Structure 1
Amino acid sequence: MRAFILALAAATIMLQPAKAQEATVAVTAIVEHPALDAVRDGIKEKLAEAGYKEGENLTFLYESAQGNPGTAAQIARQFVGEEPTVIVPISTPSAQAVVSATRDIPVVFTAVSDPVGGQLVKDMKAPGGNVTGISDMSPVADHVALIKEITPEAKSIGFIYNTAEANSVSTLAALKEEAAKAGLEVIESVATKSAEVQGAARALVGRADVIYIPTDNTIVSAFEAAVGVAEEAKLPLYAGDTDSVARGAVAALGFNYFDVGNQTGEVVVRVLKGEAPGDIPVSVATGTDLLINKSAAEKMGVTFPESVLSRATRVVE
């Protein structure tokens, strides 16, 4: 009887799901704004779903560089010194800092538009080494089509960006190509820090017919400054990320960044379970939402066509 009970107990233990091992996940972002914060929260949710929970078997570290590349490098070195299980840099500048700081600790970057151009990996399909991640390359052709659909009279697009952000330089090249196909001119305006965003927006008044702000962390962190100028000048302002619509953009077609965080979390879990990052292909984020802001449109002199209203995923009143 005793042998039977022991055998039954052993079988019961074997049938129980294996508990996730203890792990430390260190997350860093170049700056705090709604899109990047949503990525962080999406990662944490996916980890919890996989059994990695703070206070139990997960130490979740988070640091923001507050928009300073030098601080991003310091955070990268600090994290490497702490030897976490995985480092997750959010945005291109943070990813570049982390990838430069370690060749050993697994790295899963996210919210990076151009991982190859940013020199994070040499090949999206076979990244190799200790690095993989999720790209959020903007669907620029769809953005140009949306601008033409909502503001068909526009002949030029004002583009505000930070020349130091590799993802924005890549987006600009793609925008110029797609805009040319649509007969639109692209007018550049540069802001190297958040305090310069308002001036960069003012520089486009009278020169551009609409403003387009990409997923540039410097510009998005001061998004309201550009919105104020656009409202005053009745200059329609479009965004590359959907989280900026609630902050005053007329419209945006892009990713739900909480979902991007979930997709990133799935890759992190694979690494925590033993897969080598270099063997996991870099993925492009999936899913696009169309968000429109009726209040912003009214302030900027825009009327949405029925074709846009009918397919909007969400309408901000």
Structure 2
Amino acid sequence: MRRRQFIGGAISVAMLSRARAQPTMPVMGFLHAGSAEENVKRLAAFRKGLASGGMVEGKNVSVEYRWAAGRNQELASLAADLVRRNVALIATPGSTAAAVAAREATSTIPIVFSSGTDPVALGLVDSLNRPGGNATGITSLNAELSAKRLGIFRELVPGVSRYFTLVKPSSALAAPFVADMQRAASPLGIRIEVLNADTEGEIDAALAQLPSAPGAGLVFGPEGFFYIHRARIAELALRHRLPTIFDVRDYVEAGGLASYGSDYFNVMELAGEYAARVLKGARPAELPVQQATKFELVLNRKTAKILGLAIGPTLLATADDVIE
């Protein structure tokens, strides 16, 4: 009997030793202002980048997901929860508001972000070349994109005489975006008028303020809150016969007129690759913020017809996608 006990004890010790010898799988936190349902394709692109860097979810990295589902006010508590769990990394790709919340929650846990707003202005990094802290990631050069977006919009809708932009005033992205827009508009002789909306109901009210006569145009920038309500925004714009240009193609697929911005699937993939590097030991302070290099122009010909617009042959030829 004692021999059996000895053998059983030896087996137990051997199993315990093997378990201790196995490396612990790192846990990555994933924080986003949106919902899982609307980010399936983008999340797939992020996982693709992660895998290309040698990190496969469920195989050698575990992921704790936190989705705010449009309730940005919950991002701070969701970020704090990931910090309490002492995750190895917090990834916030495609959600600048989540990146800001994560940076405010921790100065030690590494953060990998992608941002359409200048990460220096947001306080995420000290500089693009030398991030200096615990965060790094991908930026979409929004100031330069704003100028390009306005130029495309003028060519697409030459009759626009008043340019409006809609911002969420409580968002950390609002002030940097408006500053980018004003800098981009000034050399073009364009004045940007700002409308505010913090709730879905205020989106309706803001668009109702626009002049009913032809001549108004609406330019959007990166804001996760508006992205969630993109179908509603596209519907209201059509109802008011209002031409619009956005930063990502999803709005155009929902019925918006046009979009020009970075290829978000490429940005998500790049963010995944950076996350893999950090999980393997790279220090964010020493990883320069990458700048997106792939951009796309998407046009909605059906919406253009409803608005009575004829898309010129040059724009049609340069568009990466035309939705019929």
What's the TM-score bracket when you normalise by the shorter of the two chains?
0.7 to 0.9
Residues 20-51 of structure 1: CA distance to partner in whole angstroms, max 9, x if unpaired?
Answer: 98332211111238986554332211112333
Q: 1:216 to 1:253 in 2, by over 3 A?
A: same
Q: After the TM superposition, which of the residue ranges 79-88 and 170-179 deviates more from structure 2?
A: 170-179
- The CA distance in 2 between the partners of 1:252 and 1:28, in whole Å, is 26
The aligned length equals 298
Q: Look up the match of 2:171.
A: 165
Q: Look up the match of 1:294.
A: 301
Q: 1:185 aligns with which of 185, 188, 191?
A: 191
The alignment partner of 1:142 has SS state of helix
- The CA distance in 2 between the partners of 1:302 and 1:228, in whole Å, is 17
Amino acid in the other structure paired with 2:159: E
Contact 1:234 1:301 in 2 (8 A): no
Task: Say if 2:113 is the partner of 1:106.
Answer: no
Q: 1:54 to 1:307 in 2, by over 3 A?
A: same
- Which 5+ residue runs of structure 2 have no aligned equivalent? 1-22
- The CA distance in 2 between the partners of 1:159 and 1:33, in whole Å, is 28
Task: Say if 2:131 is the partner of 1:127.
Answer: yes
1:197-236 residue pairs with structure 2 within 5 A?
Answer: 197-206=203-212, 209-236=216-243
Residues 212-233 of structure 1: CA distance to partner in whole angstroms, max 9, x if unpaired?
Answer: 1211112222122222222122
Amino acid in the other structure paired with 1:290: L
Deviation of 1:246 after TM superposition, in Å, equals 0.5
Q: 1:241 to 1:293 in 2, by over 3 A?
A: same
Contact 2:248 2:261 in 1 (8 A): yes
Contact 1:158 1:210 in 2 (8 A): yes
1:19-38 residue pairs with structure 2 within 5 A?
Answer: 22-32=25-35, 38=41
Q: 1:112 to 1:181 in 2, by over 3 A?
A: closer
Q: 1:49 aligns with which of 34, 47, 52?
A: 52
- The CA distance in 2 between the partners of 1:216 and 1:114, in whole Å, is 13
- The CA distance in 2 between the partners of 1:78 and 1:163, in whole Å, is 26
Residues 55-111 of structure 1: CA distance to partner in whole angstroms, max 9, x if unpaired?
Answer: 322212221112233310111111111122211124222112111212221111123
Q: 1:92 aligns with which of 86, 90, 96?
A: 96
Q: Look up the match of 2:267.
A: 260
The alignment partner of 2:193 has SS state of strand
- Which 5+ residue runs of structure 1 have no aligned equivalent? 1-19
Amino acid in the other structure paired with 2:147: A
Task: Say if 2:289 is the partner of 1:285.
Answer: no
Q: Look up the match of 2:20.
A: none
The alignment partner of 2:219 has SS state of strand
Task: Say if 2:156 is the partner of 1:156.
Answer: no
- The CA distance in 1 between the partners of 2:37 and 2:160, in whole Å, is 29
- The CA distance in 2 between the partners of 1:236 and 1:307, in whole Å, is 19
Give the structure-2-normalised TM-score.
0.85
Contact 1:194 1:221 in 2 (8 A): no
Give the structure-1-normalised TM-score.
0.87
- The CA distance in 1 between the partners of 2:61 and 2:36, in whole Å, is 25
The alignment partner of 1:124 has SS state of coil
- The CA distance in 2 between the partners of 1:129 and 1:103, in whole Å, is 7
Contact 2:54 2:276 in 1 (8 A): no
- The CA distance in 1 between the partners of 2:239 and 2:308, in whole Å, is 11
Contact 1:39 1:260 in 2 (8 A): no
Contact 2:117 2:141 in 1 (8 A): yes
